[in-house]
Amino acid sequence: MTVDEEKIVKNMVAEIADANEKFLNKPQEMENFKRIVPVLLEKGIDNVNLSMFDEATKSKLLNALGEEYIRRGNMNDSVKAFILAGNRTRLVEVGEHYEEVGLFGNAIDTFRLADANDQLLKIGKKCLENGHFSDAIKSFRLCNDVENLTKVGDECFAKGKWDYAIEIFNAMSNTHKLVEIGDKCLRERQIGYASKAYELAHDKDKLSALGDVCLREGLLATALKSYSLAGNDMMVQFIRENFGNKLSSF
């Protein structure tokens, strides 16, 4: 936008501000605001400056802008406009639209911005039922729902979704569950996940035992890492002195 165009926009805004008392709370109010909405759209929600307005007028302009963004299918910018307008109701409705079309991540982000815990809980349960574990985790964490987070963690554990299970129980500081995951992963020779779970649980005995398994199976780098995390200096020294030539990449 050129300097002259900027001046035109400012003049239009000033005119609306001067005429504000004449149409506030009247049916034609939104129509008056819509006079400058196309120009504001061109400028972009991230660059619009409405500081010359009082809060009520600014809110009405932002709501008009948000509605126009929705009409044009630009949901992301409509969310920004409704946030600035403090319009929680419309934010929730945008979130519900995202949910209807299967954009659960967007829906969750929008519900978070609206501080809508009921909607977060609802969509979290829906995501869990449909196997969208990442989105379910995000929803339940945002509304601090420990009970449902545990359910997701147990479901992920049962289905071998180790990344998610470890993420959940680490976030909950549940060392018992982390060790349980580590033990099962070790039995199934998912060494990387076992190592991660034991490390997050800060269980030095399990880490040292994992080092023993890895050493027997010739996984020298993993054994060395496990012993190091366990603080088992004797075994770290043993590996370095006896297999140092095989650990150049570690």
Residue 17: the pLDDT is: 44
Supply the pLDDT for residue 11: 53
What sign does the CA torsion over 159, 163, 165, 166 have?
positive
Closest to 138 measured CA to CA, from 211, 248, 54, 126: 126
Is residue 175 within 8 Å of residue 201, measured between CB atoms? yes
pLDDT of residue 215: 93
- For the domain made up of 173-250, the CATH class stated in words is mainly alpha
What does the alpha-carbon distance between residue 59 and residue 82 come to, in Å, rounded to a whole number? 9
Per-residue model confidence (pLDDT) at position 248: 59
Cβ atoms of 22 and 39 within 8 Å: the answer is no
CA 172 – CA 170 distance, rounded (Å): 5
Amino acid at 153: G
C-alpha to C-alpha distance for 195 and 185, rounded to whole angstroms: 9
- Between helix 117-129 and helix 104-113 the angle, nearest 10°, is 160
| Cα–Cα distance measured from residue 194 to residue 191, given in angstroms and rounded to the nearest whole number | 5
* Rounded Cα–Cα distance for residues 183 and 197 (Å): 9
Confidence at residue 25, expressed as pLDDT on a 0 to 100 scale: 46
**For the chain, what are the domain ranges?**
1-86, 173-250
H/E/C letters for each residue in 52-93?
CCCHHHHHHHHHHHHHHHHHCCCHHHHHHHHHHHCCHHHHHH
Divide the 250 residues of the chain into consecutive groups of 10 and give the mean pLDDT of each group.
49 46 46 72 84 83 90 93 93 96 96 94 94 94 93 94 95 95 96 96 96 93 94 94 71
Locus of tokens 């000033």: 14
